[in-house]
């Protein structure tokens, strides 16, 4: 009973306010009819009443489940029709209520809640009373209607009054059409009610002639009704299951196609889902039929499927499209409609997809439809699509706020978009965004795995086509003849000087500093950045001009942002948006006045080595002719970068310890010579510490050389953290480290050395699991202990070994004292033991 009460409360709380009021009204009216009738209870033939009650109860056991809802129906209504000529209304109400209760609880998998039982009892009482009044109507008798006709009318009223209230409460609860619920769930059983009327008339006549025993012959017919019910409903359920399978197939098709779109254009994943939610809710607000809402939901997910026919580099281009690229992009509505026509959806999806880029004023594509020539679903999709696109980050621009996006859509009302749709969207867009953010009712579609590498297949049968070289210079528009000649000479001289500059140095900074100043004469810019590719990330190697700090801080993964796209596709971009670079995008603290970017890939012998990007404050500041100039120097610049990187790598390996990344001995002597010269010139002091790891050999012997390497790496890392900004830490070799510390007071050293020793002890315990390492340190001071790098290192090294021996002797004495600990009870015995161990 507790579970039943909980279910009743859950059902009651899940109803709308109107549904609850309707239930209360039906229950109140039904039990009012019951109370009024039972007050005038009378029975002329109790035995006949008992017979009808028994047969009705038996018939209520033979029940069938109704399709589409959680309810059942039986043929006990036949005995209600038969009893109308002979029984009074109170008796019929008792028969109906008893049969209703038995039908509800007899072998019920899900017994009705209290709310459902009271509602069914009230509705049944109203239905029986209404049918009884129609059968006993004085008007029917006055016009001479016979029993068969009046029973037929009563059967119609009984059917309508018994099924309509349930359909209405379902419609009010689920927000559906009451007529549609009634037609789908109940109308199929109307022929059984209607055919029961003449059968009841026949048995009424036979009962009058032969007595109530003739009712026993009804049982086979009742069973026939029951079996025919079951067969019909089984067939209906099979058809319904087939329809559901088809619907599920279409849903899976939609999801699969949406996955295909997302795999082509990674930026549309959330966009498709959000547009679907917005569009469906706007369609419901505009009272579109169910099939059109289903069509719009599918179209919202699939409206960009035609982009499968558009090259990927056009779709993901982080800049404006050229006229040729836009012509290619404009085919996607027609291609999408052709694809979807082959799916044969049960609702019109293809027309919506075909027209979702048409505009209200007729300036859209592909056919230039105008006004209401455009399907309403396409008009809804166009407005919602624009709103979400403006409020989302794209490769070619940053997102605006949702309110600003709505203002932009509103400004296009009557031009690009249907005013009725825009007004509805303006009224609901904040609520729809909350609905989306709460996760209902959309379903997140799992993304496809597109990062798959196929090892087989070196090239197609026809071979691979090489990328054509950049085309020649296009003529300058509106340039005078002599000016064109002068410009050509200046350009040739500038490119020659740039080429000479790029070959003169192996230093990246020096090379690009000179290059930047010369490039400005040919291609005016406000800022220039050279990004070098390191481990699939573009890192700034040289930046100058406006927003230096901003572009110097960027690290751009290949494939992301403007420069990442250029590196991935090895194609240039003219007049792209600088603000779409990763690390810059969606960061309100990073703002730039730069509005144009010209970026070209730098391709060397081993592939892309970097990207050269020049930026300008003006919009559309760069021309195709300037792109040609930058492309002309790109190949030479690529070679210079490769050579500089190789030189940098060789230089680093000659001066850097391979294991710890610290300066090696060679680099240490160079640095120390420089520090000595600087200290001599400035008259300041210098401290050199030589540090040696005690018991490091034990680490290698006991735990292996990999553990030893790990100890050295961690020691280097932790010691470097302990250094000041101007200090230099180097690895001399083996387990020896050297610290060069300018301007350190001597009284500071004891505490600092203890800190270093603690670091080494912690590293040893962390790697080996026990305290095994210690640190020996020797110090030398300039100029007291030497005036050259060699003298300082030699004195510091000597003192380090002195410190090591002293620490070992201290440890030995401590161990000896522990082994020869005096016995308080016998001092003489301790003295004898001490003499025994003294060396001869």
Whether the bond into 441 is cis, omega within 30 of 0: yes
Instruction: Answer yes or no: is pLDDT of 723 > 70.
Output: yes
* Mean per-residue pLDDT, 180-184: 73
Residue ending a domain, among 196, 218, 236, is: 236
Q: Which CATH number covers residue 293?
A: 1.10.3210.10
pLDDT 10s digits, 112-123: 777 777 888 888
Give the range among 62-66, 139-143, 702-706 with minimum mean pLDDT: 62-66
**What's the pLDDT score for residue 594?**
86
* Mean per-residue pLDDT, 534-545: 87
Residue 450 lies in a domain: no
Residue ending a domain, among 403, 437, 471, is: 437
Query: Is 578 within 8 Å of 594 (Cβ atoms)?
Result: yes
What CA–CA distance (Å, rounded) separates 542 from 136? 101
Nearest Cα residue to 662 out of 581, 589, 716: 716
**What's the pLDDT score for residue 711?**
92
**What's the pLDDT score for residue 505?**
54
Q: Which CATH number covers residue 573?
A: 3.30.450.40
639 and 788 together in one domain: no
Burial of 757 (0-12, 13-18, 19+ CB in 10 A): middle
Q: What are phi and psi of 751, to 5 degrees?
A: -65, -35
Residue 310 lies in a domain: yes
671 and 625 together in one domain: no
Residue 36 lies in a domain: yes
* Mean per-residue pLDDT, 447-465: 51
**Number of independent structural domains in the chain:** 4
Q: Distance from CA of residue 280 to its chain's centroid?
A: 20
pLDDT band at 462 (very low <50, low <70, confident <90, very high): very low
Q: Which domain holds residue 807?
A: 665-819
User: Side-chain half-sphere of 570: how many Cα atoms within 13 Å?
Assistant: 13
* Mean per-residue pLDDT, 620-644: 79
7 and 124 together in one domain: yes
Instruction: Answer yes or no: is pLDDT of 564 > 60.
Output: yes
* Mean per-residue pLDDT, 447-470: 49
Average pLDDT value for the chain: 77
Give the range among 388-397, 553-562, 739-748 with minimum mean pLDDT: 388-397
Give the range among 90-99, 148-157, 629-638, 706-715 with minimum mean pLDDT: 629-638
Residue 468 lies in a domain: no
649 and 673 together in one domain: no
**What's the pLDDT score for residue 614?**
92
pLDDT band at 831 (very low <50, low <70, confident <90, very high): very low
- Hey, how many other C-beta atoms are within 10 angstroms of the C-beta on 606? 7
Q: Which residue has the higher pLDDT, 590 or 545?
A: 545
730 and 641 together in one domain: no
222 and 271 together in one domain: no
What CA–CA distance (Å, rounded) separates 79 from 62? 13
pLDDT 10s digits, 484-532: 444 555 555 555 555 555 555 556 667 677 777 777 878 889 999 989 8
**What's the pLDDT score for residue 495?**
57
Q: Distance from CA of residue 178 to its chain's centroid?
A: 38
What CA–CA distance (Å, rounded) separates 140 from 146? 8
Residue ending a domain, among 598, 629, 654, is: 654
pLDDT 10s digits, 647-661: 666 666 667 887 888
Which of 57-71, 335-349, 452-466, 663-677: highest mean pLDDT? 663-677
Residue 549 lies in a domain: yes
74 and 178 together in one domain: yes
317 and 340 together in one domain: yes
48 and 170 together in one domain: yes
**What's the pLDDT score for residue 267?**
53
Q: Which CATH number covers residue 11?
A: 1.10.1760.20
**What's the pLDDT score for residue 715?**
92
Instruction: Answer yes or no: is pLDDT of 603 > 50.
Output: yes
Residue with the two structure tokens 């569009």: 279
The DSSP symbol for 295 reads: H
Give the range among 233-247, 469-483, 757-771, 773-787 with minimum mean pLDDT: 469-483
Instruction: Answer yes or no: is pLDDT of 443 > 50.
Output: no
pLDDT 10s digits, 366-425: 889 999 999 999 999 999 988 888 887 776 677 788 888 899 999 999 999 999 999 999
What CA–CA distance (Å, rounded) separates 540 from 584? 14
Query: Is 307 within 8 Å of 425 (Cβ atoms)?
Result: no
**What's the pLDDT score for residue 38?**
80
Residue 477 lies in a domain: no
* Mean per-residue pLDDT, 691-697: 91
User: Side-chain half-sphere of 151: how many Cα atoms within 13 Å?
Assistant: 26
**What's the pLDDT score for residue 559?**
85
The DSSP symbol for 15 reads: S
Residue 839 lies in a domain: no
pLDDT band at 835 (very low <50, low <70, confident <90, very high): very low
What distance separates the 2 farthest-apart alpha carbons in the chain? Answer: 149
pLDDT 10s digits, 318-371: 777 777 778 888 888 988 888 888 877 778 889 999 999 999 999 998 889 999
Q: Which residue has the higher pLDDT, 130 or 2?
A: 130
Residue 525 lies in a domain: yes
**What's the pLDDT score for residue 781?**
92
216 and 193 together in one domain: yes
Beta strands in 269-427, from DSSP E residues, in sequence order: none
Q: Which residue has the higher pLDDT, 192 or 97?
A: 97
676 and 799 together in one domain: yes
pLDDT band at 266 (very low <50, low <70, confident <90, very high): low
**What's the pLDDT score for residue 737?**
93
43 and 110 together in one domain: yes
Q: Which CATH number covers residue 774?
A: 3.30.70.270
């Amino acid at each position: 009973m507790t579970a039943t009460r909980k279910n009743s409360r859950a059902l009651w709380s899940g109803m709308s306010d109107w549904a609850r009021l309707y239930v209360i009204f039906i229950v109140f009216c039904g039990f009012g009819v019951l109370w009024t009738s039972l007050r005038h209870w009378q029975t002329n033939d109790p035995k006949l009443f008992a017979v009808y009650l028994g047969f009705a109860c038996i018939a209520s056991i033979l029940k069938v489940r109704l399709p589409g809802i959680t309810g059942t129906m039986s043929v006990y209504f036949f005995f209600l029709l038969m009893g109308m000529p002979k029984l009074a209304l109170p008796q019929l109400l008792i028969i109906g209520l008893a049969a209703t209760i038995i039908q509800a609880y007899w072998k019920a998998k899900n017994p009705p809640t209290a709310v459902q039982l009271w509602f069914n009892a009230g509705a049944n009482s109203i239905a029986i009373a209404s049918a009884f009044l129609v059968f006993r109507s004085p008007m029917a008798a006055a016009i001479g209607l016979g029993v068969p006709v009046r029973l037929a009318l009563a059967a119609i009223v009984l059917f309508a009054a018994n099924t309509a209230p349930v359909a209405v409460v379902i419609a009010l609860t689920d927000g559906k059409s009451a007529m549609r619920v009634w037609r789908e769930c109940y109308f199929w059983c109307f022929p059984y009610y209607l055919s029961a009327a003449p059968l009841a008339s026949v048995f009424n006549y036979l009962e009058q002639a032969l007595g109530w025993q003739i009712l026993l012959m009804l049982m086979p017919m009742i069973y026939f009704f029951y079996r025919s019910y079951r067969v019909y409903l089984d067939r209906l359920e099979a058809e319904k299951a087939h329809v559901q399978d088809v619907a599920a197939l279409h849903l899976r098709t939609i999801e699969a196609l949406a996955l295909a779109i997302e795999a082509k254009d990674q930026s549309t994943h959330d966009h498709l889902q959000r547009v679907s939610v917005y569009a469906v809710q706007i369609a419901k607000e505009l009272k579109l039929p169910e099939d059109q809402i289903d069509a719009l939901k599918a179209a919202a997910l699939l409206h960009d499927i035609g982009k499968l026919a558009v090259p990927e580099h056009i779709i993901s281009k982080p800049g404006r499209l050229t006229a040729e690229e836009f012509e290619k992009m404009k085919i996607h509505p027609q291609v999408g409609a052709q694809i979807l026509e082959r799916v044969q959806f049960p609702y019109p999806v293809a027309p919506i997809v075909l027209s979702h880029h048409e505009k209200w004023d007729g300036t859209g594509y592909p056919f230039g439809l105008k006004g209401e020539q455009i399907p309403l679903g396409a008009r809804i999709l166009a407005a919602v699509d624009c709103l979400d696109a403006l409020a989302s980050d794209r490769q070619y621009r940053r997102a605006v706020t949702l309110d600003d996006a709505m203002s932009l859509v509103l400004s296009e009302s009557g031009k690009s978009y249907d005013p009725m749709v825009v007004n509805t969207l303006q009224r609901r867009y904040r609520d729809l965004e909350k609905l989306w953010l709460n996760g209902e009712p959309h379903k997140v579609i799992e993304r496809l795995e597109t990062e798959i590498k196929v090892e087989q297949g070196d090239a197609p049968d026809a071979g691979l086509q090489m990328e054509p070289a950049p085309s020649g210079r296009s003529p300058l528009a509106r340039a005078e003849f002599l000016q064109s000649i002068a410009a050509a000479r200046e350009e040739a001289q500038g490119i020659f000087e740039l080429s000479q500059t790029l070959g003169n140095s192996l230093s990246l900074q020096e090379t690009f500093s000179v290059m930047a100043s010369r490039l400005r004469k040919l291609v005016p810019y406000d800022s220039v950045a050279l990004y070098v590719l390191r481990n699939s990330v573009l890192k700034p190697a040289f930046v100058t001009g406006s927003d230096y700090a901003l572009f110097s801080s960027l690290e751009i993964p290949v494939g992301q942002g403007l420069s990442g796209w250029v590196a991935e596709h090895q194609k240039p971009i003219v007049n792209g948006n600088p603000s779409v670079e990763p690390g810059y995008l969606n960061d309100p603290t990073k703002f730039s006045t730069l509005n144009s970017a010209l970026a070209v890939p730098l391709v060397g012998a081993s592939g892309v080595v970097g990207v050269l990007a020049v930026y300008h404050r003006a919009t559309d500041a760069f021309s195709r002719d300037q792109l040609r100039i930058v492309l002309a120097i790109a190949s030479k610049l690529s070679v210079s970068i490769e050579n500089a990187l190789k030189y940098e790598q060789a230089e680093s390996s000659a001066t850097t310890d391979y294991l710890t990344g610290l300066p090696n001995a060679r680099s240490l002597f160079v640095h120390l010579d420089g520090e000595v010269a600087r200290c001599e010139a400035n008259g300041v002091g210098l401290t050199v510490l030589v540090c040696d790891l005690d018991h490091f050999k034990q680490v290698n012997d006991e735990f292996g050389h990999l553990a030893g390497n790990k100890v050295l790496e961690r020691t280097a890392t932790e010691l470097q953290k302990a250094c000041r900004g101007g200090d230099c830490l180097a690895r001399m070799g083996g387990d020896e480290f050297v610290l060069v510390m300018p301007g350190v007071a001597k009284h500071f050293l004891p505490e600092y050395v203890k800190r270093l020793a603690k670091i080494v002890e912690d590293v040893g315990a962390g790697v080996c699991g026990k305290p095994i390492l210690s640190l020996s340190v020797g110090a030398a001071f300039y100029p007291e202990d030497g005036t050259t790098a060699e003298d300082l290192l030699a004195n510091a090294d000597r003192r380090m070994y002195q410190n090591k021996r002293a620490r070992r002797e201290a440890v030995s004495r401590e161990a000896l004292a522990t082994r020869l600990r005096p016995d308080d009870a016998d001092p003489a015995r301790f003295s004898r033991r001490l003499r025994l161990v003294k060396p001869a």
